[in-house]
Amino acid sequence: MKRVLDLFASVLGLLLLWPVFLVVAALIKAEDGGPVLFRQQRMGRHCKAFHILKFRTMTADAAERGPQITVENDARITRVGAFLRRTKLDELPQLWNVLAGDMSLVGARPEVPRYVDLFRAEYTEILRLRPGITDPASIRFRDESQLLGQAEDPERTYVERILPEKLKLARHYARNASASWDLQLVVTTLASLFYPARTLEALVDRLAPYRFALGLALQSAAVLAAHALALLIRFDGRVPAAELATFLRVLPLVFVARMLWMQAFRQFHGTWRYAGLRDLRAVSFAVTCGTLTWWFGARWILGVTTYSRGIAAIDWLLCIALLAGLRIARRLHRELKPGGLPARRVLLVGDEEPMARLARELMDRRAGDVEVVGMLNGDVRRKGLRIHGVPLLGTKGELAEVVRRTEPDEILVAMPDATPELREQMLRDCRALGRSARLAPDLSQLLLRPEAPKLGDDYSSEDLLFREALHPDGEFARAVVGGRCVMVTGAGGSIGSEIVRQVAAQGPARLVLFERHEFALYEIERELRGRFPDLEIEPVIGDVADAQRVDDVVGAFRPHAVFHAAAYKHVPMMERNPSEALRTNVLGTRTMAAAAVRHGAHVFVLISTDKAVEPVCMMGISKRMAELELRLMTSGSGTRLLIVRFGNVLDSSGSVLPLFREQIERGGPVTVTHPEVTRLFMTVPEAVQLILHAASIGRGGEVFVLDMGKPIRIVDMAKALIRLYGLTPGKDIRIEFTGLRPGERLFEKLLNDDETVWKTAHPRILRAVSQGDEGDARGELSRLHDVSAERIGAMHAPTQPAEAIPA
């Protein structure tokens, strides 16, 4: 059937348009004497090549003078060619291609072979049908040359941005082609050709400074025209002289009454491009009030009692139509104006009312960066209907099939009245199909519900300690780092960066920042140079497990103090990557400490963790092995080797607080592994202050333990944070228990079973003293080595080189 229609339309078009063909051919020939037609190889049905025909719009040597991509104001375009491109008359010879069977009136635009080769899989599906003269992409990208003209690299922009969007539209057409859609596309194409959108937009821009005067003039003309037309219609164009005289007496009153009521309803101050039902309702009220005013005014003031009621009724109707028409015309121009590149295609899923509001809002975005491809609701009887022109494609149960057909980039779930569980299930269903999905806000309820959750300006992580925070004291730190060279490993991390800040404030002679990650190092260096412009800073990229690099750096700078904060700390991640945990946390510590001893460092501080106490996870095992390595190196060393052990720090990378904040701000749920899980907490500045203090009082070989207060239940912390947002736990934000993760314990402790606690000069710094000797330490280290080797072997993963796992 489609082929029959193509044959009929192409024959009819060629017969009717042959004079146009002759005129265009003559103009092209007259301009430069070159060939009239342009022939180029394109890929047709089933990816078979054919030669497409066009009127030539560029110079005869265009192929030698530039790329195949043509941009706006391309120097190769001829004067006649510019007109043909603007009116799309250059496409007329493709009626021959349609007649020959190479093309159809409607179908994906044929591309050159090299572009088809880039997207062979997509074109194999698309070119099951004949390519066409017009298609959805032709309408969407009717200003393609203008878009390409604005790009720095037109070829790259076309291949990476425009062509993929064209392919999405083409695949959608290929899967849903129908005679009715073809007819709609043909009509839309013709309308887009003849509607002077760019010319009108330029005119609107020029008249923008005179918006008020222009609006007043147009509406005044509409009021006068409506009354005059009402008179003509009432008397079928033959107005009696007496009625004309009465009309002229009444007209000034009509005009004044209309203007006063339109001013009362603020009709001279609106922006017509956003006109909607509220504006049309205001117009109707203003016209109705104006009609009543002039009608009774004519009787009581002018004494006119014979004026036709029919004129008043027709005038009322015409006035509303003309005034509303002005606004609708401006709104339609805005709607028809071509947008830019569509960034993503969106599918709406949920309840009909919120989806309708959301669709209207998204479609009002004239940047063209969002296309609503359809909606899914829960009522099968509504399938096939349209809301704001967007089709209801089915029910939520048909999600998988609709996603396959429409290929949305993102799914927005609009279910504001559903339970949190139902919304979360819908999000999981959407994401299971490989699509980005998120909850859409219900725009109608934004002012009815509390403001989107956010923390107050006075928020501090100290609010979640459930105790008084420590006050800073830099005197002891200055004794260790003041006027000396200090090196910090892991300088871009949560603990390392705070050590760097506090050390920098105490006036070291030089600060060496040793970090593996380039961006983290760049960020902390930039911060320090801004805050301490006179400080000598040495940013160094390196791996603590790289013995040669470490020795070169420590040997070059010979630091007085080394704070070793570089480590992997994420428990579940290290369960999956045990070899890396051992390499960085154990080998890195041994390498760094050995270099510090070899090059005469005065003090070396290892930052340890409560996970190293009776360890059950790979991260804890690796940190315990690092502690034992350092303990065995202490004997006979001129360097004071110290260990500072503590629990969790608030707001560090990998901490629960950033995760909780993210979950609360997107509406929940907040996930906690177990209702009884507890942890010890400090703020990062507190922990670092005590680390520096411990470095000043240590004599070598000590394991310092920071007193972090009472353990805090994670669920209590989550509830406290929710309340800080002004929300109610369990009501506004649900808390969900997910189960303990691999390697996670219900509680942590800071002392091993064979350790006793001694007090120090600082009430928050304790000393853990082991009852075992060096032989016990070696035995424990060997046992942990065997456990690590077993875990690595059980994962069937390639092991690290021998030196990565201490023997």
Give the pLDDT confidence of 493-502 residue by residue, as tens digits: 989 999 999 9
The stretch 781-796 carries a mean pLDDT of 83
**For all residues of the chain together, what is the average pLDDT?**
84
- Strand ranges for 516-657 from DSSP E: 537-541, 561-564, 603-609, 640-646, 648-650
Q: Which value, to the nearest 10 degrees, does the dihedral of the CA atoms of residues 210, 211, 216, 220 take? A: 100
pLDDT greater than 80 at residue 13: yes
Rounded to an integer, the average pLDDT of 282-300 is 91
Please report the pLDDT score of residue 222 as a whole number.
Answer: 92
Q: Who's near 329: CB < 8 A, 6+ residues apart?
A: none
- pLDDT computed for residue 706 by the predictor: 87
Residues 286, 267: Cα–Cα separation, whole Å: 8
Looking at the predicted structure, is the pLDDT value of residue 804 above 50?
no
Q: Specify burial of residue 448 (Cβ count, 10 A radius: 0-12, 13-18, 19+).
A: exposed
Task: Tell me which of 191 and 111 has the higher pLDDT.
Answer: 111
Query: What digits encode the pLDDT tens for the residues 506-552?
Result: 889 999 999 999 999 999 999 999 889 999 999 999 999 999 999 99
Percent of the chain whose predicted confidence (pLDDT) is above 70 = 90
pTM of the model: 0.47
Q: Which residue type, as a one-letter code, is found at position 414?
A: A
Give the mean pLDDT of 252-257. Answer: 92
Residue type, 449: R
Q: How far apart are CA 795 and CA 240, in angstroms?
A: 102
Examine the pLDDT at 477 and tell me if it is beyond 80. no
pLDDT for the residue numbered 626: 92
CA pair distance 251, 454, nearest whole angstrom: 59
Quick one: what percent of the chain has pLDDT higher than 90? 33
Phi, psi of 153 (to 5 degrees): -125, 90
The verdict on whether omega for the bond into residue 391 sits within 30 degrees of 0, i.e. cis, is no
C-alpha distances out from residue 339 to 163, 347, 388, 659, Å: 16, 19, 18, 38
Confidence at 69, pLDDT banded by 50, 70, 90: confident
For the chain, percent helix, then strand, then coil, each to nearest 5?
Answer: 55, 15, 30
pLDDT class of 338 with cuts at 50, 70, 90: low
Cross-strand bridge partners of residue 231: none
Q: Would you state the pLDDT for residue 563? A: 96
The two beta strands, 510-515 and 537-541, are parallel
- In the chain, what are the domains? 2-192 (no CATH), 205-336 (no CATH), 344-445 (3.40.50.720), 482-649+682-710+749-794 (3.40.50.720)
pLDDT at residue number 551? 95
pLDDT tens figures, 613-626: 888 889 989 999 99
Confidence of residue 491 (pLDDT cuts 50, 70, 90): very high
Residue 307 has pLDDT above 70, yes or no: yes
Going by C-beta distance under 8 Å and a sequence separation of 6 or more, which residues neighbour residue 644? 605, 606, 607, 608, 690, 691, 694, 704, 706
SS3 of residue 706 by DSSP: strand
49: left (phi over 0), alpha (psi -120 to 50) or beta: beta
pLDDT tens digits along 229-251: 999 999 888 888 888 998 999 99
| Rounded Cα gap, residues 288 and 313, in angstroms | 10
Instruction: Report residue 354's pLDDT band, with 50, 70 and 90 as the boundaries.
Output: confident
- pLDDT level of residue 457 (50, 70, 90 thresholds): very low
**Residue 398 near residue 429, CB atoms below 8 Å:** no
User: Would you place residue 651 in the very low, low, confident or very high pLDDT band (cuts 50, 70, 90)?
Assistant: low
